[in-house]
Amino acid sequence: MKLLVLNSGSSSVKYKLFEMNRGEVQAAGKLDRIGEPLSRLTHRSRLDEHAEAELITEQPIAEHHQALQLIVEMLRETRILSDPDSLDGIGHRVVHGGECFHEPVIITDKVITAISKTIPLATLHNPANLAGIRVALDFAPLVPQVAVFDTAFHQSIPAHAYHYAIPYALYEKLQVRRYGFHGISHQYVTREAARLLQLEENYINLVSIHLGNGASVTAVLRGRSVDTSMGMTPLEGLMMGTRCGDLDPSIPFYLEKWTDEDSEQVEALLNQDSGLKGVCGASDMREVERLAGEGNERAQLAIDMYCYRIRKYIGSYLAVLDQLDALVFTGGIGENSPNIRARCCRGLEHLGIVLDEDANRTLADHNREVQGATSGCKILVIRSDEELEIARQSRRLIARIDRKPGLA
C-alpha cells in the first residue's frame, strides 16, 4: 500500500511517501520558511536500499497553497508520483477537530465544512491543513484521503479535566473546553514506549513530554490520554518558542488597557512574540542554549523558566496516574537536547525519577533508555514520527472502505 502523508504546519509543510507493505519511505521532504523572503524545499527520494538523492530549491513562497503546489510539482518531476492513481491514499494532519472528530475520517465535502468551522480554535494551523487537503484533492481526486486529528487522542480526557471553571453555558454554546494538541505525537510515542518496554498498550502509564517549537505534556493512563497541558488552543501550558503558555487570564485585559494594542495585537503578542523569544529574543532552543553558554543572563533565565514549568507539570501528572512506567521525551528539543532533559529531571529524584547523566549525553539516533540504576521508572528518548502515525491510522481506515472519489 502506497500512502502520501502531508503535515502542513503554520510556517512549514512536511511530507513523506510510504510503501507500507515494505515499511519503506520512498520520498520525504520539508518546505519551510513559508511567508519569509526566501523559502527552502529539501526533497529526498530513495534510489535503492543504500542510497538516496537530495534536491534543494529556494524561492519565495507566500502561502501554503503555493507551497503545496511546489511539492506536488517536485514529486512529479522526480517521477516519484507521475501517476496519482498509483497512490492508495493520502493522509493529512489536521490540528483541531473540535468536538466533531474523535478518530480519523475519510475526507468529504461535509468533513471539509466541519474542519472550516474549527478555524477560530486554531487560526494559525487549520487554514494550512485545509490548504493541504484542497491541493491534494486537486492533485489526486480519485484517491481516498484521510484527516487525522491532533486533538483526537485527547478525546478520552474526562469531563472534570477538560472543563474550565467558567459558566457552563459557554461550553454548551461555544464548546469552550480543553482539547489538547500534539495528540498524533503523543499517541505514537505511547505505542513505541509500550513496544520498547514490552507492555500492552492499554496497560502502560506515561508522562509524555513533546518539546519542539510548540510544547506539551500528556498524562497517559492505561494507554489513554487523561490530561494534557495545551487547552482550547495551543497557547496554554508549557512555555514554548514563541507562545507564552500558562498565563494569568487578567494579563491580556491589563495589556489592552495600559498599552496601545488591541485584542488582536495582544493575541499576536502572546502567540508569536512571547515564550523563549519574548524573554531572551531567540525562539530556537539551540540558539538560546548557545547564548546561555556565552553568559547571556536572559537566555539562562529563559531556560530556567522553561524547565521549571515542565517539572511542575511532571509533578502534577504523577498525582493523576496510579503509577508511572516511563517518562518520555520527544520532539526536536526533547530528542536532541541532553541539557534540557537533565534540567527537567533535576530535583525529581524524590519522586523516583533518576537520570543517568552519561546515557543522557550519549548521542544516538535511535530510541533509548536514559534512566539511572536507582530510578523508579524508565526515562525514554523516543524519536516521534507523526507522519508514520498518520500513515498507520490512514491505512487502517482505508482498508475498511471501498475505493471512492476523494469528495462525496
Last residue of a domain, one of 110, 125, 149: 149
Residue 349 class from Cβ within 10 Å (0-12 exposed, 13-18 middle, 19+ buried)? Answer: middle
Would the pTM count as exceeding 0.85?
Answer: yes
In a domain, 344, yes or no: yes
For residue range 372-401, list pLDDT tens digits in order.
Answer: 999 999 999 999 999 999 999 999 999 987
Give burial (CB, 10 Å; 0-12/13-18/19+) of 322.
exposed
The contacts of residue 173 (CB under 8 Å, 6+ apart) are none
Q: Are residues 275 and 380 in the same domain?
A: yes
Alpha-carbon distance of 83 to 142, in angstroms, equals: 11
In a domain, 189, yes or no: no
Residue 11 binned pLDDT confidence (cut-offs 50, 70, 90): confident
210 located within any domain? yes
| C-alpha cell belonging to residue 275 | 515564550
Q: In this structure, are 217 and 128 located in the same domain?
A: no
Question: Cα–Cα distance between 88 and 235 in angstroms, integer?
Answer: 36
Residue 65's pLDDT is what? Answer: 80
pLDDT for residue 12: 84
Mean pLDDT of 286-299: 98
Q: Of the ranges 27-41, 146-160, 292-306, which one carries the lowest mean pLDDT score?
A: 27-41
Strands 51-59, 39-48: pairing kind: antiparallel
Q: What does pLDDT average to over the chain?
A: 93
Give the pLDDT of residue 408. 41
- 144 and 205 co-located in one domain: no
* Residue 299, H or E segment: helix 297-318
Domain boundary residue, one of 149, 180, 211: 149
The answer to whether residues 142 and 206 belong to one domain is: no
Residues 107 and 218 in one domain: no
- Catalytic residue IDs: 150
Kindly state whether residues 262 and 143 are assigned to the same domain: no
* H/E run at residue 278: helix 275-280
What are the pLDDT digits (tens) for 320-343? 999 999 999 999 999 999 999 999
- Among 149, 172, 188, residue at a domain's last position: 149
Q: What does the alpha-carbon distance between residue 189 and residue 225 come to, in Å, rounded to a whole number?
A: 12
**Where in the sequence is the domain holding 319, given as residue range(s)?**
199-385
Q: Are residues 135 and 206 in the same domain?
A: no
Asked whether 117 and 175 are in contact (CB, 8 A), the reply is no
110: its cell numbers: 461535509
Residue 114 lies in a domain: yes
What pLDDT is recorded for position 109? 95
145 and 225: one domain? no
Identify whether 63 is part of a domain. yes
- Give pLDDT tens digits for 76-129: 888 788 777 789 999 999 999 999 899 999 999 999 999 999 988 887 788 889
Residues 221 and 337 in one domain: yes
Domain total for the chain? 2
In a domain, 103, yes or no: yes
- Which pLDDT band, with edges at 50, 70 and 90, does 402 fall under? low
CATH at residue 360: 3.30.420.40
Work out the number of other CB atoms within 10 angstroms of the CB of residue 406. Answer: 20
In this prediction, residues 155-176 reach a mean pLDDT of 97
Binned at pLDDT 50, 70 and 90, residue 407 comes out as very low
Strands (E), 131-280: 145-149, 206-211, 215-221, 224-228
Same domain, 246 and 118: no
Q: How far apart are CA 183 and CA 210, in angstroms?
A: 10
**In this structure, what C-alpha cell is assigned to residue 63?**
502561502
Note whether 99 and 204 are same-domain residues: no
Give me the residues paired with residue 278 across strands: none
In this structure, is residue 13 part of a structural domain? yes
* Whether 217 contacts 324, CB under 8 Å: no
Q: In this structure, is residue 372 part of a structural domain?
A: yes
Neighbours of 155 (CB within 10 A): 18
80: Cβ contacts below 8 Å, ≥ 6 apart: 17, 26, 27, 45
Please check whether residues 256 and 138 belong to one and the same domain: no
Q: Region 223-250: what's the mean pLDDT?
A: 97
Contact 105, 52 (CB under 8 A): no
